Amino acid sequence: MSGINAMPQYRSYFGFSLTEGTPSTGIVYAIYTIGNIVGSFFAGPACDTFGRRYGMIFGSVFIIIGTIVQATCTGLGGFMGGRFLLGFGVATSASAGPAYVSEMAHPAYRGPMTGIYNTFYFMGQIPATFISWGTNKNFPNSDMSWRIPIWVQMCYSGIVLLNAYFLPETPRWLVANDRHDEALKVMAKYHGEGNPESPIVQLELKEMMDEISKTGSDKRWWDYRELFNSPEVRYRTFLVFLVAFFGQWSGNGAVTYYYPQMLAGAGITSTNTQLLLNGFQSVVQFVGAVSGALFTDKIGRRPALMFSTGAIVVCFCIVTAINATNVVEVNGVGTSKSASAANAEIAFIFLFGFCYSIGWTPNQAMYPVECLKFENRAKGMGFYNFWVNIASFYNTFVIGIAFTGAGWKYYFLYIFWDLLELACIYFFFVETSNRTLEELTAIFASKTPVKTSLRKGNLTVAQVGDEAVVLEKDTQASHEEGL
């Protein structure tokens, strides 16, 4: 939508201003978010009742239907209706997907695999940005310039829909539904090289059977009490809530939705140039996200998030300083006085995207999943997506108006907010890397979860043939001594 919103063909087709953000433009963005918010209430129960696989299937069906409605519409009402259905489907998929990856992954690779999951966002964003650039260039006077990028939205959801039937269900969901034999077969195949007696498989199965309740709230679609009914789960839910807002309000909303306006403030007014830079921005962010995901277990979740947030503050300070000393206001829009100042601002906007993606892109999906217990993981991810979209609603509806009215001065808000984020991460975020999902219970149940998560521990290991077998494990082991 960032690329489409920059197209005069799209804006004139629906009667939007060609130069300014308007309330109507914000509503078009926000209706997707409203669909996501509504879908969040159905996502958890669907994933708990039918399984993680079917959560992805249901979500894909709604995304495809929403795409068809949106791409074939002739009026703004149809366009917005399609975006609502799109958001509804994404809510279910975004709850099921990260839970599936995290619950299926081998413990040794859960961090990189779950982190990489969220970086594949860019496998959609990068083609979307360059397709928008290409269609705008090749269809300058046709509504196909914005309809083609919308049609492309259904491609990846179609791939998910066709392939999800062939995926195994997660062993944790199978254990929770008293299907232990099936869970053992899945873990033997994917974690034990086909051997159900593999020590790692037996250890995982034992932890799951000890930790996962057969009568938990995941069996009751209406029951959200296990998100709040004890100090331990309230702390977990609190962290999920913080990640939802921090991941959306760190400044990425401006880059995601109103990148053309940011470039206009740097003196780049050509639509083709804006779309091309938008595409390259996505590539830079993808490189940062993959780098962060691959090294997440070595770096740790907390250090990655603190580095990312601190670097974002520096980038915004520099961009603000460049604007304050080198920009004049023309009809509320910033125009750079010099080419060197414009280039410097663009460079730091690119650097912002890279720094944000190193820490926040992998952890937005991974950290909430790790914070939640199995019984409330699906509903908790629905809860997470609800607040993500409340935060996103602000981004999509307010930022365009704010840029039109306040211009570069709006960056001050991000600087102060990101400093608050940095303090919260340091004082409240626990380290979750290099532990099984079940081992995290000991951390959240302690009186000082952050200190406990950073405390060093010991493993007692015996060699059996070619395999190291864990005989005893301190569940308060730090992320420096993962399994």
Find where tokens 């996502």 sit. 43
CB distance 245 to 5 below 8 Å: no
- Summarised one tens digit per residue, pLDDT across range 206-255 is 999 888 877 676 677 668 888 898 899 999 999 999 999 999 999 887 76
pLDDT given for residue 464 in this prediction: 45
Long-range contacts of residues 135-143, Cβ cutoff 8 Å, at least 24 apart: 136/3, 136/6, 136/7, 136/9, 136/271, 136/272, 136/275, 137/272, 139/9, 140/9, 141/9, 142/9, 143/9, 143/10, 143/13
Q: What pLDDT score does 22 carry?
A: 57
Q: Which helix (H) or strand (E) holds 335?
A: strand 333-336
* CA nearest neighbour of 108 among 224, 191, 42: 191
Determine the pLDDT at residue 409.
83
Does the pTM surpass 0.85? The reply is no
Closest of 94, 103, 47, 115 to residue 299, by C-alpha = 115
Cβ atoms of 462 and 471 within 8 Å: the answer is yes
**Could you report the per-residue pLDDT of 10-22, keeping only the tens digit for each?**
988 988 876 665 5
Could you give the residue ranges of the DSSP H alpha helices within 295-410? Answer: 296-299, 301-326, 339-371, 374-406
Q: Which pLDDT score is estimated for 23?
A: 59
Q: Could you say which residues of the chain have pLDDT below 70?
A: 18-24, 215, 217-218, 221-222, 255-262, 265-266, 327-338, 396-397, 400, 403-404, 456-483
Look-up: residue for tokens 């130069």? Answer: 19
Query: Which pLDDT score is estimated for 477?
Result: 42
Q: N- to C-terminal Cα distance for the chain?
A: 42
